[in-house]
């Protein structure tokens, strides 16, 4: 193990202790569990009337709810981490030891990203196994797709959150930027796209391009393609996507584009941290 890896590991242990002390990890795991239990209970209640609906449907509903929740958790967990450490003097104290700024942001990224992803890696396979016991089907293909899309979506907004945290000095202002980024990614672009479709007769290609620019929309399309390959619910846009892009292309877009957005935002955060004053 290299000296750099040892230093990153030491910083990661400090960051993990901070995460555990703030109970942020427990809150994330609890939200995942409550959300999953809610969809399972709803599915079991429907089963009294129409038969067990299947774990694929439960996982599909949970995955689309996670598309809304994961960006908010990622932004909340990273949007204040650097500026709070700088304001409280912890960042200056750490950098007075033989640690570099790059090692610090790598450690913070690994811990925050892992704290959001690891509970999902435990919860979703557990639900799939429970579904196999209940209705004797294991939706492994959709599970792998959901985990891949969720991981890249977490990475996208972890990068955006760190970029906000390094660019905005005051934590109060950073909270506003975090909420604005979440609203822009989850809600406002949806309303803007719907308004544009109502105002102008956009071609399916233009609708897909505008939607795919948003990492959240890319993730949604990837999940929809996994649950319903025909995409009939999207109307003419769905027909275009099936014919021109295909389920594989939508999955690739839902993984590659959020990963690219997160990487670009993380690089901006890394560059900003290396240039800013820590006092």
pLDDT digits over 71-126, tens only? Answer: 999 998 898 898 888 887 888 888 888 888 889 999 999 999 999 999 888 888 87
Q: What is the pLDDT of residue 52?
A: 45
| Burial environment of residue 277 by CB neighbours within 10 A (0 to 12, 13 to 18, 19 or more) | exposed
- Placement of tokens 């204040």 in the chain: 80
Give the integer Cα–Cα distance in Å for 103 and 252.
31
Domain ranges, residue 83? 3-275
Are 17 and 55 within 8 A, CB to CB?
no
3-state secondary structure of 235: coil
Are 16 and 107 within 8 A, CB to CB?
no
Q: What is the pLDDT of residue 51?
A: 44
**How long, in residues, is the chain?**
279
HEC states along 244-262? Answer: HHHHHHHHHHHHHHHHHHH
| Burial environment of residue 179 by CB neighbours within 10 A (0 to 12, 13 to 18, 19 or more) | middle
Q: What residues of the chain score a pLDDT lower than 70?
A: 1, 42-56, 130-139, 188-212, 225-248, 278-279
Distance separating the N- and C-terminal Cα atoms of the chain:
32
Q: What is the pLDDT of residue 276?
A: 79
Q: What is the pLDDT of residue 194?
A: 57
Q: What is the pLDDT of residue 162?
A: 95
H or E, element range at 92: helix 90-95
Q: What is the pLDDT of residue 157?
A: 94
User: Comparing C-alpha atoms, which of 219, 211, 215, 218 is closest to residue 191?
Assistant: 211
Q: What is the pLDDT of residue 112?
A: 92
Give the integer Cα–Cα distance in Å for 253 and 246.
11
Report the number of distinct structural domains present in the chain.
Answer: 1
């Amino acid at each position: 193990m290299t000296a750099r890896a040892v230093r990153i590991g030491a910083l990661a242990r400090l960051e993990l202790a901070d995460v555990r002390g703030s109970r942020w990890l427990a809150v994330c795991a609890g939200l995942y569990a409550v959300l999953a239990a809610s969809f399972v209970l709803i599915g079991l209640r429907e089963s009294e009337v129409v038969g067990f609906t299947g774990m694929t449907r439960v996982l599909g509903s949970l995955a689309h709810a996670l598309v809304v929740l994961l960006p908010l958790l990622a932004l909340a967990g990273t949007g204040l981490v650097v500026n709070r450490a700088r304001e409280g003097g912890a960042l200056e104290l750490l950098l007075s030891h033989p640690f570099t700024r790059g090692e610090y942001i790598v450690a913070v990224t690994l811990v925050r990203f892992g704290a959001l992803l690891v509970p999902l890696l435990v919860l979703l396979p557990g639900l799939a196994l429970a579904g196999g016991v209940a209705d004797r089907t294991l939706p492994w293909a959709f599970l792998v797709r959901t985990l891949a899309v969720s991981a890249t979506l977490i990475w996208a907004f972890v990068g955006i959150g760190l970029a906000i945290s390094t660019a905005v000095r005051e934590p109060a202002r950073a909270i506003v930027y975090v909420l604005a980024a979440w609203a822009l990614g989850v809600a406002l672009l949806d309303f803007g796209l719907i308004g544009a479709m109502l105002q102008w007769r956009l071609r399916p290609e233009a609708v897909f391009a505008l939607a795919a620019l948003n990492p959240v929309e890319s993730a949604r399309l990837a999940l929809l393609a996994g649950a319903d390959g025909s995409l009939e619910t999207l109307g003419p846009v769905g027909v275009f996507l099936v014919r021109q892009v295909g389920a594989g292309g939508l999955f690739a877009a839902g993984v590659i584009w959020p990963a690219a957005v997160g990487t670009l935002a993380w690089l901006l955060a890394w560059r900003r941290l290396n240039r800013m004053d820590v006092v």
